[in-house]
Structure 1
Amino acid sequence: MTAEQQHPGAAPLTLRTGGQDEALEELLDHELTAFNGAACGAGTPKEFSVRVDDAAGEPVGGLTGWTWGGLCAVHLLWVREDVRGDGWGSRLMRAAEEEGVRRGCTDMVVSTYTFQAPEFYLKLGFRETGRTPGVPGGHADVSFHKVIGT
């Protein structure tokens, strides 16, 4: 789908909607990272991961996140169903927090859906900071924050 609009004295602009656009995603990431870094002097986000493997070297759990400007953010956290309840989620989160502190972070954030693990994050000392009701599919997206390194 495309739409064109003419600005006075400028070439026409085209608006397109489509599927995943890796080149656009890379451009947006680069431009927003530069803008954000300039706005607060925090440089570039640094990604990290924490992984748990079984004896065969297969992943049974993992976490991805990033640190930037004193903030440690958890992006994704997953633990394989057969080892859920064995404490691996907590260990992964502690390792992420330790990595954040090692990188100079003072705050940690994560979000989850109400059908996932909001109680888990509360037990780890996070406090709810926001909720978007009704999404996805009648559930809610819940945001959490925790002060770390103190």
Structure 2
Amino acid sequence: MTAAEVNVLTVGAEDAGLTDRLENELDAFNDAATGKAERGDFSVRVDDADGHLVGGLTAWTWGGLCGIELLWVREDSRAGGWGSKLLLAAEAEAVRRGCDRVMVSSYTFQAPGFYERHGYGEVGRVPGVPGGHADVYLFKSLAGGAVQGS
């Protein structure tokens, strides 16, 4: 009997332990391939006077690259410029952490235009999102320590 005949393949619900293990294994692989570049996570948030969340942003940094994971602003606050304020604060934090470039993806029904207005350029698009939409990948250079468009 071969090892493949003894191994067990399972499909199931989310597995936090598996996710952690895969992240650790891939981080080790990536470090070996690229050199051990510093990694980090950060967030930016704004709360109203009552302590309720108005909006927030989560991001990661790795070897001079910042990746924006999530950006959301409460519907009743979207006209107040909070999305821009969150994005600019994140870009400034990325520069502070030594990043000179930033990337983000946004579905076509979300905010690719918002990012383009902030100097991001489309670098790729993945079709097949439900409803006939696509996932748009955008990139921006943060050259010279100052935030600049690509």
Number of aligned positions between the proteins:
144
Aligned-pair distance for 1:55?
A: 0.2
Secondary structure (helix, strand or coil) at the match of 1:95 reads helix
Q: Would the alpha carbon gap of residues 44 and 15 (structure 1) be closer, same or farther in structure 2, given more than 3 Å must change?
A: farther
Secondary structure (helix, strand or coil) at the match of 2:129 reads coil
Aligned-pair distance for 1:42?
A: 3.6
Contact 1:63/1:77 (CA < 8 Å) preserved in 2? yes
Match status 1:22 vs 2:16: yes
The gaps in structure 1 that reach 5 residues or longer are 1-5
Q: Match of 1:133?
A: 127
For residues 128 and 55 of structure 2, the distance between their equivalents in structure 1, rounded to whole angstroms, comes to: 28
Alignment of 1:78-89 (within 5 A): 78-89=72-83
Secondary structure (helix, strand or coil) at the match of 2:138 reads strand
Match status 1:31 vs 2:16: no
Residue by residue over 1:69-95, the C-alpha shift from the partner in whole angstroms, topping out at 9 and shown as x without a partner, is 110000000000000021110110111
Secondary structure (helix, strand or coil) at the match of 1:85 reads helix
Runs of 4+ in 1 over 3 A off after TM superposition: none
Contact 1:74/1:109 (CA < 8 Å) preserved in 2? yes
Q: Match of 1:144?
A: 138
Q: Match of 1:49?
A: 43
For residues 131 and 53 of structure 2, the distance between their equivalents in structure 1, rounded to whole angstroms, comes to: 29
The gaps in structure 2 that reach 5 residues or longer are 145-150
Aligned-pair distance for 1:140?
A: 0.6
- Taking structure 2 as the reference length, what is the TM-score of the superposition? 0.90
The range that moved more, 11-20 or 75-84, is 11-20
For residues 106 and 7 of structure 1, the distance between their equivalents in structure 2, rounded to whole angstroms, comes to: 49
Q: Match of 1:7?
A: 2
For residues 42 and 103 of structure 1, the distance between their equivalents in structure 2, rounded to whole angstroms, comes to: 16
> What is the RMSD of the two structures over their aligned residues, measured on CA atoms?
1.5
| Aligned with residue 93 of structure 2, among 88, 99, 123 | 99
For residues 17 and 131 of structure 2, the distance between their equivalents in structure 1, rounded to whole angstroms, comes to: 30
Secondary structure (helix, strand or coil) at the match of 1:16 reads coil
Letter in 2 for 1:7: T
Aligned-pair distance for 1:38?
A: 2.1
Secondary structure (helix, strand or coil) at the match of 2:54 reads strand
- Percentage of pairs with the same residue: 57
Letter in 1 for 2:69: H
For residues 20 and 49 of structure 1, the distance between their equivalents in structure 2, rounded to whole angstroms, comes to: 24
